[in-house]
A and B are shown apart, each in its own frame.
Chain A
């Protein structure tokens, strides 16, 4: 119980800290709006002009992924730059419990973009928010956020081990959008990408959210798979995180200098 309380409060504070950076918020809102607009025109230009709500929701999911990718991938580095990494690691808690709220916060702040794209779609393009299964939508979006936050822990812990994490970070935005079918499921991709997509929580998260919007399938199985995979990522991330902490103490990489 106290662990849940800790995660809740810590996440809230990290959301607060992230939300107060004007630069981050402005980037995190503007860019997805441009992408949502792009998606709307692409759908209109193509064979799917009736699926505009999917375009708006999909663009929102893309933004959540971007937020998790850049926020979580750089989470540990950011704490190090702020000088707070040592302070965090000194707390008598498993290191995963200290970093998970940060990655979860990056997923939560990603929802700002989701809300923005839906509003934008509604106000500018008159896309009505007629969701097929409102209850499932209301559950699947937060659940997808939680799942992506868990996935974020695995990103955060493995990226800190990679010497060129920033470079890898910058390349992973589009491939995940593509393979996970975040905007629209891509059936024309080469066959080998299928299994890759199937093991990514992002794929099932977008699928569950899309199913709740369109009613094209049962939401709960997809959501279940998403959360199961995410839990797997959380456990793996926690293990890697413990290794990372030990290694950082041995190699003196917790501090900036």
Chain B
């Protein structure tokens, strides 16, 4: 467990070497906030759904950019800096080390999601019931973590496919569409809803909406468990992919080719 945390801290520091404080504020805090405002006003204009729907959904989604790119970066940067080999060859339990990389990005995502929720609500005048706050914190955290594992899966795929950033880019924009955060799920075609159900954010956004509506933690729990299950599935997938590609790259000696 300690190993998991330490590996995480190191990766997090690497993240900040890469992104300056202004990058962080601009790209990760202000960017998602504008995204939230954009969809909230668009929703008002088109009469799709109320502010609460957009604020809560987009706040949960706000974590996605940081988490998905973070997870991808966790793998691809180590490859770029030539440290992936060291991680894979270290005698510690590799899978744990690897999964630990996602945690700081998830923490980062949680911070961003919370910020978006607070500022978005303040700007657009949404009142979040005080009783919902602890549940919301858990929900945002689960959503962020599941997003980060999703990113890690994409990053692991990146070991095999070259254009991993393209995949992350498209994935982040697909989350906008498929998670039902911006288009209410019942307006999406069935297959999109199915795909959305397998993506992070979808269920945690649902859970968060329940909480903000004052339905209580019990009402949010089923969705929250689904989100946790989705996240766990991505964690397992990422670990499996890494094992497979690791074995493969040892055979083909392609680990350090960029």
Contacts and interface: CB of A to CB of B under 8 A. Distances in A.
Whether the complex brings A and B within 8 Å at their CB atoms is answered yes
Given A44-B187, A45-B48, A170-B27, A34 B174 contact: yes
A174 B22 contact: no
Interface stretch (B1-9, B89-97, B113-121, B162-170): B162-170
A38 interface: yes
B25 A167 contact: yes
B46 A47 contact: yes
B34 A174 contact: yes
A31 B169 contact: yes
A171 B174 contact: no
A183 B42 contact: yes
B183 interface: yes
Nearest to B41: A186
B44 A188 contact: yes
A37 B45 CA distance: 18
Contacts of B64: none
Contacts of B15: none
Nearest to A36: B177
A242 interface: no
Contact of A187 (B43, B45, B163, B182): B45
Contact of B176 (A27, A34, A43, A48): A34
A1 interface: no
B31 A174 contact: yes
A120 B41 CA distance: 25
B37 A37 contact: no
B159 to A, nearest CB: 18
B20 interface: yes
Contact of A31 (B41, B170, B184, B188): B170
A46 interface: yes
A175 B34 contact: yes
A19 interface: no
Contacts of B45: 46, 184, 186-188
Contacts of B188: 41
B182 A38 contact: yes
Given A35-B173, A41-B183, A171 B166 contact: no
B170 A38 contact: no
A184 B166 contact: no
B16 interface: no
B30 interface: yes
Interface string B44-62: 1111110000000000000
Interface string A31-63: 100110110011111111000000000000000
Interface string A18-35: 000011001100110011
A187 B41 CA distance: 9
B44 A178 contact: no
Given A30-B170, A43-B46, A178 B23 contact: no
A178 B37 contact: yes
Given A22-B163, A167-B27, A184 B35 contact: no
A224 to B, nearest CB: 27
B166 to A, nearest CB: 5
B26 interface: yes
Contacts of A177: 38
B34 A27 contact: no
Contacts of B35: 174
A253 interface: no
A26 B168 CA distance: 12
B20 A164 contact: yes
B23 A166 contact: yes
Contacts of B166: 23, 26-27, 30
Interface in A178-196: 178, 183-184, 186-189
Interface string B170-206: 1001101100001110011000000000000000000
Nearest to B175: A34
A13 interface: no
B23 A164 contact: yes
Given A45-B46, A45-B48, A45-B184, 13 more contacts: A22-B163, A26-B163, A30-B170, A31-B169, A31-B170, A42-B42, A45-B49, A45-B183, A164-B26, A166-B27, A167-B27, A170-B27, A173-B34
Interface of B: 20, 22-23, 25-27, 30-31, 34-35, 37-38, 41-49, 163, 165-166, 169-170, 173-174, 176-177, 182-184, 187-188
Interface of A: 22-23, 26-27, 30-31, 34-35, 37-38, 41-48, 163-164, 166-171, 173-175, 177-178, 183-184, 186-189
6 contacts: A30-B173, A42-B46, A43-B46, A44-B187, A47-B47, A174-B37
7 smallest beta-carbon distances between A and B, as pairs = A167-B26, A46-B46, A164-B22, A174-B34, A45-B187, A170-B27, A41-B183
